[in-house]
Structure 1
Amino acid sequence: MKRTTLSLIAVATALAAVTGFASLTTTDGPAAPAAKAPTRLPIERAGLACPVPSTSEVAETLYTSYTPTGTGTATGAPGRADRPTAELRAAANTTTSGGAPKGGKTPKAPKVPATVTAPGKPVTAEANGPAAPALTGTATGTLAPGWTVQQTTVVPAGGARGLLGLGCGAPDTDFWFPAASTAKERQDYVHLTNPDDTTAVADIELYGPEGALKSQFTEGIPIPARSTVPVLLSTLTGEAAQESVTVHVTTRSGRIGAAIGSADEKLGTDWIAPAADPASSAVLPGVPADATSVRLVAFVPGDDDADLKIQLATATGTIVPAGAGSLHVKSGMTASLDLKDLTRGEAGSLVLTPSDPKKPAPVVAALRVVRGTGEKTEVAFVPATPAISARATVADNRAKATTLSLTAPGAAAQVKITASAGSGGGTPVSRTVTVKAGTTAALTDLVPQGLRGSYALTVEPVSGGKVYAARTLTLPQDGTPMFTVQTFVDDRGTVEVPSAHQDLGVLD
C-alpha cells in the first residue's frame, strides 16, 4: 500500500476518534458562544540596540535604563518566570565593510551594568572615552513592557563637540533617515547593530535632490551576530557632495537597530533617529524657542509628487511660517527648505499636511535645528514621529534642563504625564494636562519630589485627539548651548491577543 493511502487512513481514523470523543463528552444545548474580541496583554520580552556612543577621547556617556510602572502582570520568559530581567550587553565592534569583529574580541561593557531590577526607578551606568561599545539588551517578564534605554553623550571639545542623545531602538527591518548629508563638513555614519544570534544582511539607499545617488558597497552588507557596523555615508557614492540626503536602510535577512551619528565641524553633533513611516501628513514636535536655524528635509518614496502645507503649532495656535508655507517634493527626490525666523522666540512643532487633501502622497521628514551663533553653535535633529497611542517614555531627564513639548494638531487632548523617581532618589509625581487644539504646550516644571539624579518622563493619552511629544535636554558647556531632542515613540508595551473557544463544529 502506498504511503499516501496510509496517511489518509490515519487522518480519517484520527478525525473519527476526535468526533466520537466529542459526542460522548458533550451534551445537547445552545451553541458555543462566539469568540470575544481580542484583549491586550503586557508583552513578555523586549529587545533594544544602542550604537557606539562616540569615538572621542573626551566623550562622557550616561546610559539610563527604565521600565514604567502599571504595565500589568506579565511573567518572565519561559523558564525564568520568577526572574524578570532587563540587561545590557556589549556588542562586538566590526569593520565598516561588515567583516569579523576586530581581533575577535568583545569590548568591555560599562563598569556598572544598567540593569533594572523593578519598574518605576531608573538605573544609570557610565562609559567614557572611545572604547565604549555598542550595546544590545533584552528585558523579560514584568520589566519588558515599556522598557527604554537612553544614551546621552557629552563631548566638550574637538571636532565632534556637542550633546548627543538617542533612545536606543527596537530591532526592525526598515528605517528612513531624512536630513542626513554627504557634505564635506559633515561626517555622517549610519550605525547598523545586530542584537540577535544570527547574521543580518542590510541594504542602504541614498536619495539626493535629483533622485537616487549612484552608490557602491551598499547592497548585502553583513552584520554579524551581536555586532555593530558603522558606515560613512560619503564613502558610498562617487557623486558630488549633497547637503541634504535621505537614507533608506532595509534588511534582506534578520533585524537590526539603526541610527545615524552626524558630526558637523562648524555646527556640532547629534544622532539622527529614524523618522516615522511614510504617511500623507507628519508632525515634528519640539522645536526650541531660541532656534537660530531650522532646515526641513522631506522625501517622497511613492510614485506621486507631494505638495505640503507647512504650519507651526505654537502655544497660542497654529501659524503659517512667513514665506515658507508650502513645499513641493518630487517623487523619489529629497527636498529641503530653510525656515528662517521660524519660532520667533516661541517653542513650537512643525505640522505637514497635504496642500490638497484629495491628493495625498506619503512622505518622510525631519528637521535639522541649530541653536547659538558663530563658534558657539549646537545642532540637533527632530524626525517626524507617530502619535502616542497608549504610552511612551523618554529617560534621562535633568532638573532645570528638560522641556517637554506636547502637540495636539487636531482636536484638543488630555494626557497624563508621570515624572518617575530619580535614579538616586525622589518621589514620582503625575499630572493631567490639557493641550488645546492646534497648539504646543511646553512644560519645564514637572520633576519628582526630592529629586536626586535623573528621571524618566512617561506620557499617556487620556482623551481627545492625537498627541505628539518630544523632550529637549539642554546642558550648556562653556557658552555653547548644547542640546538634544528626543521624540516620544509608543512603547508597544502590550500586544493584542485573540480570544479562543472550543468549536467542535469544524469537525462536522
Structure 2
Amino acid sequence: MNRTTLSLIAGVTALAAVTGFAALDTPDAAGAGPATAAAQLPVERTTLVCPAPSTSDIADTAYTSFTPVTTGTGGTGKAQLMPATEQSDTGDGKDTAKGGSKGKTKDGGKNKTAKSVLEPKEPGTPVTGDTSGGEAPALIGTAEGKFAPGWTVQQTTEVAVGAGRGLLGVTCTAPDTQFWFPGASTAAARSDYIHLTNPDDSPAVVDIELYGAEGAVKSPAGEGITVAAHSSEPLLLSTLTDSAQQDLTVHVSVRSGRVGAAVQALDNSLGGDWLAASADPAGSLVLPGIPKDATEVRLIAFTPADSDADLKVRLASPSGLITPAGHETVHLKGGMTTAVDLGEVTREEAGSLVLTPTSRSVPVVAALRVLRGKGDRRETAFIPAAGPFMTRATLPDNSAKGSTLSLTAPTATAQVKVTASAGSGGGTAVSKTYTIKEGTTQDIAPPVPSGLKGTFALTVERISGGPVYGARTLTASREGNSGFTIQTLPDDRGMVAVPHAEQDLSVLQK
C-alpha cells in the first residue's frame, strides 16, 4: 500500500474509534429486510431554568423537584438547582456574585461556596425547598444520570396583597432559542416582565419583538439584548416601547446562545400569574384545562404569517365538542394580535378550547387569560396553547386538596395512567387508570398517596389511543382570597430515540 492509502485507513479507523462511525440499519439493495426501529433510551442530562419568583417583600415561594422512576437509567446521577448569578471581579482576586449569592466563577468552574437550593436523593420521591421575600434569584438546574429523564421543577409563589396578588406558578423550562407569548400587556394596569435566563458559559444575545392589534410595535430597546453567562435579566415590557397595548404577543428570538423565558404578568386589581410560552406556531391548537368555575375567559391569538387565518372555535366539554354560541370562528390578520372575550364559556363544566382552520391552514400561537371570582376578589391565570404528551408528563407540588387534573383527547379516545408519587415527607405511591373519550375533557381529582406527608408529584402516562393534552390547576386560600394557577402538561421528553448503529467503512467507497 502507498502512504496515501495507509493514511486514509488510519484516519478512518481513528474516526470510527472517536465517533462510533455509524450507519442506520436499512434494507440492503436486495431487500433483505425492514429497517430496525430506533431504540428508546433515557436522556442522560437535563437543564432547566426557573425565573426569579417575585420582588414582593411578602412573597412566599416553594420549589418542588421530581424525577419519575425510569427503567434503564442505571444507578448513578445527581440533580441540583443553583442561583443564576453573574460573576464580577472585585479586584482582589476573588469572584463575587451580584446580589450576594455565589454561583460560578468566570471561567465556568463552580464556586465552592455555592449551595444548591434543592438536591433530590432518589427518583420517585419529590424534594422541596422554600424562600421568602423579594430577593430570591433565578435558578439554573442540571440533572444527570438517573435523575435526568423527566426531571421537572415547579415554582409556586403566594403573594397576599399588592399588584399581582394571588398564587403564581410556573414549571421551570428548558432553554431554547425561540418563544412566543400571546397574552402579555403594556396597559397601565399591568406590569409585565419578560424574564430571560442564560444557563450556559457564554453570553446570549436576544431580540424581543412586540405585536399589538395594529401589527408590529416599535421597540428598538428590545434589539440585541445581552444576557450574561449564568445570569437572568427581568425586563419590564413597558420600558421597551412607548405604546400602551392591552393585548400583546411577545416574540423572543435568540441570535446566539440559548435562554429560558417566561412572562410574569402582574395586574393592579386582577392578581397575576406566570405566562408560559405557547406551543410552536401550528394550524391547529389545543388550550387545555379551563376551570369549570371560570368567570371570564379571553382568547389572545396571533399568526406570524403574512396571510390571514380563520379558525373554527370549539370547546371540548365532558360530553363532546361543542361550538360556543356567538364565537363560532375567529379571524386573525397576519402579523396582528387578536383578542376575543369568551365570557363564562365553560358554564360550570370542564372544558378545553380547540382551534382548527376553517379552510387553509396558517400557523398560529394562542393563549387564554382566565379569571375566577367576582369583584375585588378576582384572580388571574393563563393557559397557553400546549403540545400533547405522547408518552409521559409530570407535575410536582400537589397536595391532598387543591389540585385538579384536566385531560382532553380531541381527536381519538385515549387511556391514561395517573400515578401519585410518594410524598416529600412520606407515603406510598398509588396509580389509577382513566379513559378519556374522543372530543371530551375530563376533570380528575388526582389519586392521593396512602399515608401522605408533604406534597406529591403526578405522572401521567398515555397507555393507548390518540394524543392527550392536559393541565393542572392549583388553588390556595390565604387571608380570605382564593388564588389559583394553571400549568399545562407537555411531554417530559424523558426518552430519546437512538438509531441502531454499526461500524460500516464501506460508505467511504461509494
Q: Hey, what does 1:319 align to over in structure 2?
A: 322
TM-superposed deviation, 1:112: 7.6
Residue pair 2:86, 2:228 contacting (<8 A) in 1 also: no
Distance 1:47 1:112, change over 3 A: closer
Q: Hey, what does 1:107 align to over in structure 2?
A: 101
Q: Please point out which of 78, 81, 91 is paired with 1:88.
A: 81
For residues 246-297 of structure 1, what are the alpha-carbon distances to aligned partners after superposition, in whole Å with 9 as ceiling and x for unaligned? 0000111111110000100010010000110000011011111111110000
Name whichever of 35-44 and 404-413 sits farther off: 35-44
Question: RMSD between aligned alpha carbons?
Answer: 2.5
Residue pair 1:160, 1:264 contacting (<8 A) in 2 also: yes
What are the equivalent positions in structure 2 for 1:445-456 lying under 5 Å apart? 445-456=446-457
Q: Hey, what does 1:275 align to over in structure 2?
A: 278
Q: Hey, what does 2:501 align to over in structure 1?
A: 500
What are the equivalent positions in structure 2 for 1:346-425 lying under 5 Å apart? 346-356=349-359, 359-425=360-426
Q: Please point out which of 156, 168, 173 is paired with 1:152.
A: 156
Q: Please point out which of 333, 342, 347 is paired with 1:344.
A: 347
Task: Measure, in 2, the Cα distance between the counterparts of 1:83 and 1:19.
Answer: 34
Query: What TM-score does the superposition give when structure 2 sets the normalisation length?
Result: 0.89
TM-superposed deviation, 1:506: 3.1
Task: Measure, in 2, the Cα distance between the counterparts of 1:439 and 1:365.
Answer: 20
What are the equivalent positions in structure 2 for 1:36-185 lying under 5 Å apart? 36-69=36-69, 71-75=70-74, 83-92=76-85, 104-107=98-101, 113-185=117-189
Q: Please point out which of 255, 260, 263 is paired with 1:260.
A: 263
TM-superposed deviation, 1:107: 2.8
Residue pair 1:111, 1:125 contacting (<8 A) in 2 also: no
Distance 1:483 1:93, change over 3 A: farther
> Is 2:189 the partner of 1:188?
no
Distance 1:338 1:192, change over 3 A: same
Task: Measure, in 2, the Cα distance between the counterparts of 1:13 and 1:58.
Answer: 72
- The alignment partner of 1:351 has SS state of strand
Task: Measure, in 1, the Cα distance between the counterparts of 2:59 and 2:508.
Answer: 66
Q: Hey, what does 2:439 align to over in structure 1?
A: 438
Distance 1:104 1:128, change over 3 A: closer
TM-superposed deviation, 1:106: 4.8
- The alignment partner of 1:12 has SS state of helix
Task: Measure, in 1, the Cα distance between the counterparts of 2:96 and 2:284.
Answer: 44
TM-superposed deviation, 1:451: 1.2
Q: Gaps (5+ residues) in structure 1?
A: 1-7, 21-30, 76-81, 95-100
For residues 35-84 of structure 1, what are the alpha-carbon distances to aligned partners after superposition, in whole Å with 9 as ceiling and x for unaligned? 63321211110000000000000000000000001x22235xxxxxx641
Task: Measure, in 2, the Cα distance between the counterparts of 1:40 and 1:350.
Answer: 32
- The alignment partner of 1:61 has SS state of strand
TM-superposed deviation, 1:478: 3.0
TM-superposed deviation, 1:377: 1.0
Residue pair 1:84, 1:143 contacting (<8 A) in 2 also: yes
**1:63 counterpart letter in structure 2:** Y
Task: Measure, in 2, the Cα distance between the counterparts of 1:402 and 1:63.
Answer: 16
**2:224 counterpart letter in structure 1:** G
Task: Measure, in 1, the Cα distance between the counterparts of 2:137 and 2:264.
Answer: 14
Task: Measure, in 1, the Cα distance between the counterparts of 2:403 and 2:289.
Answer: 11
Q: Please point out which of 184, 207, 214 is paired with 1:210.
A: 214
Q: Gaps (5+ residues) in structure 2?
A: 14-29, 88-94, 104-113
Residue pair 2:421, 2:430 contacting (<8 A) in 1 also: yes
- The alignment partner of 2:371 has SS state of strand
- The alignment partner of 1:85 has SS state of strand
TM-superposed deviation, 1:416: 1.1
TM-superposed deviation, 1:323: 1.0
Q: Hey, what does 2:429 align to over in structure 1?
A: 428
- The alignment partner of 1:392 has SS state of strand
Task: Measure, in 1, the Cα distance between the counterparts of 2:241 and 2:182.
Answer: 17
Task: Measure, in 1, the Cα distance between the counterparts of 2:453 and 2:207.
Answer: 44
